Amino acid sequence: MAKASIAINDSFIFRFPKREEESSYDEAKKEFTTTYKPHPLCLLEHFLAHAHRIEVAHKGITGSYMDWQYHFNPATDPLYLLEMQLEFDAKDENNMGGYNWEFSVPAESKLTFSDSKVHEEDEEFSYVSILISGEISWDFNPNHFKKIKEKMERYCPWEDVAMGLRLTLRENYLWKKGDFPGFKSGMEVPKGDQTIDNLPFVLDRVPKSWCVITHREPKKEWEVAVKHWTKLADKNVTFGGKYLAPFNP
């Protein structure tokens, strides 16, 4: 085993969806139609007000998913989770091959989340800025690294591989192990009850938000059009350990 670490101390812009996509099949036209349903504003309001209740998705949380004796405590348990993935792709933007590795960190792993606010918004997203600070470390299994290397060498030589980071914020899925009388996942809730205080409704409906931290500048037309493209070299993020340190800018 070899230690790997990520030290982080910076603000990041997460894309928080303002609407959900619904598809249905039109029998008359013999085609699928797509409609958009706006998310209740209380979902974003609750998310912004509870940055201090975010935790990195460590083994103490992920390991409780199949623990039938675990009981969710809404007063003390995290309400939101940060999931992290290493994103490997070719340095050459014209080489489309890539591989994502979602890693698991020990239960004692901690990051601090604060200063959450809407930085900008458009028709599709609220762009939420959150300050994340701290350091996490874990044992990087050499076999896991070997697998990553084998996957990427299908696309390009290993010396031409770059690495970035994908951050995803989501509800703590363990909330379903709590006691919320009268509420079942997916049930319709009257608009009058769609408030920041209706915790099971919020956690059931809140969308995932994400931030992709890449190794390069946007070059393709669609990349240039992306708001708040995040480049690793512009952020205070440091990879540690013999497997990850070579990917520091």
DSSP assignment string, 101-162:
EE----TT--EEEEEEEEEEE-SSEEEEEEEEEEEEEEEE-HHHHHHHHHHHTTTS-GGGEE
pLDDT in tens, 10-42: 999 999 999 988 777 777 777 777 788 899 999
Exposure b/e, 152-165, CB count within 10 A at least 16 = b = beebbeeeebbbbb
Q: What is the share, in percent, of the chain residues with pLDDT greater than 90? A: 73
Query: Which structure tokens are listed for 60?
Result: 């103490």
Give the pLDDT score at 111.
96
> How many residues appear in the chain?
249
pLDDT in tens, 57-101: 999 998 888 888 889 999 999 999 999 999 999 999 888 889 999
Task: Say how far apart CA 147 and CA 100 lie, in whole Å.
Answer: 11
Give the pLDDT score at 184.
76
pLDDT in tens, 114-171: 999 999 999 999 999 999 999 999 999 899 999 999 999 999 999 999 999 999 999 9
